Structure 1
């Protein structure tokens, strides 16, 4: 009986300590392009308005990472439980944005490897 009790307590302890793990993964431009062609995805351009004005990925919603309400604005427009895809100019800013979104409850966050710069290079290869 003591063994059953012990294993029951151990199981409950481990189960209650389990936290949901959210993740951030890099995605390559080719993979992102395929997802965009398949249908609607949650795509966020985290660059500034000026950068966005010089070109953007079709369907992306601009939410400047440097905006004080960045997380709130993303949460208002996108579902935290669905995959969300981010990009910036080169990849550094979107990586920081991804980490911030994960800390604030977004489940699956994807960061475009190499950012918009690599996206453009990949599009020219077609």
Structure 2
């Protein structure tokens, strides 16, 4: 009998913990506005581009390699508010994250479907014109130009931002941003598919490139 009671207590405690970790749209919205909170969308890029929660990062849980790579740039010590379309993928992703050292992971119960049903707006629904290949060709003209292929919603891209800004400032390099979620024709032209990708041009010709996280020292060495 004692064993049964103990098992029931454990199950009730687990259910209570889950209930606290899967919250309503109102609670989710309130929590994601707290300092240091990271908002993570685990839907596909196509779904993300139809509208997403404000300031969200994106990592497709159905593409495990991409998911694990991008999660390396999400701080394990800070809260992560996670969501998908209806809650299935975010629950699985949250379980993996908790098992791999993420201290606080909060799920949006019902996903973006519940969010919209609660009358809350999504960001990123407006259409943005692509950069043309011709415009890109003109943009890379110059002594030194760093092409930054990334996106605001890409975790490693956001992590790289302070390093890129410092490199640009200290070395007086022109920066050209290519939107990795929008400028598809330019990405095809320069053969990039990974975010972020950095390509350094000198006098209009590519002299160096690297995908992923790059140190300030690597950027500086590329100019020598």
Contact 1:71 1:101 in 2 (8 A): no
Contact 1:71 1:104 in 2 (8 A): no
Aligned partner of 2:98 among 77, 80, 102? 102
Query: What is the aligned partner in structure 1 of residue 50 from structure 2?
Result: 54
Select the structure that is richer in helix: 1
Alpha-carbon displacement from aligned partner over 1:88-125 (angstroms, at most 9, x marks no partner): 0000110000011112111111110000100111125x
Where 1:77 maps in the other structure, the secondary structure is coil
Query: What is the aligned partner in structure 2 of residue 68 from structure 1?
Result: 64
Aligned partner of 2:119 among 109, 116, 123? 123
- Counterpart Cα distance in 1 of 2:34 and 2:101: 26
- Counterpart Cα distance in 1 of 2:27 and 2:57: 19
Query: What is the aligned partner in structure 2 of residue 17 from structure 1?
Result: none
Instruction: Give the unaligned 5+ runs of structure 1.
Output: 1-22
Alpha-carbon displacement from aligned partner over 1:17-53 (angstroms, at most 9, x marks no partner): xxxxxx7610211012123344452110000011111
Give 1 or 2 for the bigger CA radius of gyration: 2
**Displaced runs of 4+ in structure 1, greater than 3 A?**
36-40
- Counterpart Cα distance in 2 of 1:81 and 1:102: 11
- Counterpart Cα distance in 1 of 2:88 and 2:50: 19
Instruction: Give the unaligned 5+ runs of structure 2.
Output: 1-16, 121-224
Contact 1:71 1:100 in 2 (8 A): no
Task: Give, in angstroms, the shift of residue 67 of structure 1.
Answer: 1.8
Q: TM-score, normalised by structure 1?
A: 0.72
Q: TM-score, normalised by structure 2?
A: 0.42
> 1:111–1:89: structure 2 CA closer, same or farther, 3 Å change rule?
same
- Counterpart Cα distance in 1 of 2:98 and 2:108: 16
